[in-house]
Amino acid sequence: MERIWIAGPCAAESREQLMTTAAQLVEQSQHTNFPLHYIRAGIWKVRSVPNSFAGAGEDALAWLQEVQSRLGIPVCTEVMNARQVEMCARHDVRTVWIGARTSVNPVEVQQIADAVCHSDFTVMVKNPIIPDLKLWMGNIERFLQADIKKVMAIHRGFTDAQENVYRNAPVWQIPIELKTRMPELPILCDPSHLCGQVKWIPQVAQIAMNYGFNGLMMECHCHPSQALSDADQQLTPAEWGNLVSHLDLRSDTASLELVKQRSMLENIDNQISELLYQRMSLVDEIAEIKRENHIAVVQPQQWQQVVKRYALHPEDTHYQEFITKFLELLHQSSIERQK
C-alpha cells in the first residue's frame, strides 16, 4: 500500500505563516527527496478551553486555496459540520479530516458523511478521544457507505485518566486491530497530537512505522514557539525533513513480529525513564517538606510500603532478585538526593 505523508501547521494563523511553513516544507521535501502528499492546516479549531485561539475561520480558506495552487500540493483541513464541507468545496479544498472530538458523535459524523456523499472528497477519520474501536470503525463505514473512494484513518491517541507521559495514550492495540479488520484501509499516525511534546515525536513516529502504519500526519510551524495553538508539539520544517528522512521504512514482514515486540519495549522504556525521573523530582519535593518540618530523611516504615508495592510477582524469583537490587539502588539514591 502506498504511504501517505502529511505535514503543516496545527492552525493557519495568517496567510504569511501558512505560505512560509508550506513553502519550507516543500523545500525540505525536495531537498531530502521525501514525498509530501498533503499540507495540513486547521482553520476551525476545536479547543478544550474557552477563549483560546479558535482558528482563522472561513477567511483562511482563500489562503489554503492559494497554497494549494501555488505549491501544487493538496491542502487538507478539519471539518465539524456540513456547512464547513460546503465552504471547503467552494474553495476547492477537497481533503478533510474528522477531528477526535467530532469523532465521538456519530450523529455529527453522519451529517458530514451526507454532505460529502458521492463526491470526490478524500476523508480522514481520526480516532475518537475515547478508546472505542467500534465507534471509530462505525465512523469510517459511514464515509465508505457515502461512496467516498479515498477514506483513511488517523491514530492520534486516546484521552487517558491515568498519568501518562504522552498527551494522549497510544493504546496501539486499537489501531492494530483496526488494521486487521479493515486491511484495505490506509491508517496514518499523528504523533504530534499523540505525544504533545516534540521530544517524543521521532520515537513515536518510528514506532508507528514499525507497526506498519501507512503514513504520518505531523504538525509543523515556521516558528513553533510563536504558534497560537499546540506550540509544544510543532516541528520546524527542517526538523520535519530531518525526521522523515531518518525513518526506518523497512517492509520486511518476516521480522515484523520482532519489530513489534521491540517497539513495545521501546514504548515501555520511554515510560519507565520518564516515570523514574518524575519519581526523583517528587523525592526532591518531599525532601523540602521534611526539611521544613524537621522530619528525619530515612523513614523505615515508609520504605517498607514502597518495597511492598514492588512485590507483586513473588512467583517469579528471578524478577524478585532483580527488584531487590533495583530497590536498594533506588533507596540509596533517594537518600543521597535528600541530603
156 binds ligand PEP (CB under 6 A): yes
Angstrom distances, CA of residue 289 to CA of 28, 142, 167, 296:
51, 56, 29, 11
Task: Spell out, one character per residue from 228 to 257, where the chain touches ligand PEP: x when CB under 6 A holds, - when not.
Answer: ------------------------------
Task: Spell out, one character per residue from 208 to 247, where the chain touches Mn ion: x when CB under 5 A holds, - when not.
Answer: ----------------------x-----------------
Contact present, 99 and 139 (Cβ < 8 Å): no
Task: Spell out, one character per residue from 50 to 79, where the chain touches ligand PEP: x when CB under 6 A holds, - when not.
Answer: ----------------------------x-
10 binds Mn ion (CB under 5 A): yes
Looking at residue 129, the DSSP 8-state letter turns out to be: S
Crossing angle for the helix pair 15-32 and 237-245, nearest 10 degrees? Answer: 30
User: Among 36, 193, 207, 209, which residue interacts with ligand PEP (rule: CB under 6 A)?
Assistant: 193
Find cell 514525498 and name the residue.
35
- Strand, helix or coil at 127? coil
Q: What is the distance between the alpha carbons of residues 62 and 60, in angstroms, rounded to a whole number?
A: 5
Q: What is the distance between the alpha carbons of residues 99 and 103, in angstroms, rounded to a whole number?
A: 6
Find cell 520511554 and name the residue.
270
Q: What is the distance between the alpha carbons of residues 139 and 151, in angstroms, rounded to a whole number?
A: 11
Q: From the CB of 156, what's the least distance to ligand PEP, in Å?
A: 4
Find cell 539502588 and name the residue.
329
Q: Judged by CB under 6 A, how many residues of this single chain contact ligand PEP?
A: 10
Residue 115 or 170 with smaller CB distance to Mn ion: 170
Q: What is the distance between the alpha carbons of residues 188 and 150, in angstroms, rounded to a whole number?
A: 13
Task: Spell out, one character per residue from 19 to 48, where the chain touches ligand PEP: x when CB under 6 A holds, - when not.
Answer: -----------------------x---x--
Span from 97-105, 130-138, 248-256, 280-288 in contact with ligand PEP (CB under 6 A): 97-105
User: Among 91, 126, 155, 179, which residue interacts with ligand PEP (rule: CB under 6 A)?
Assistant: 126
78 binds Mn ion (CB under 5 A): no
Interface contacts to Mn ion, rule CB under 5 A: 10, 230
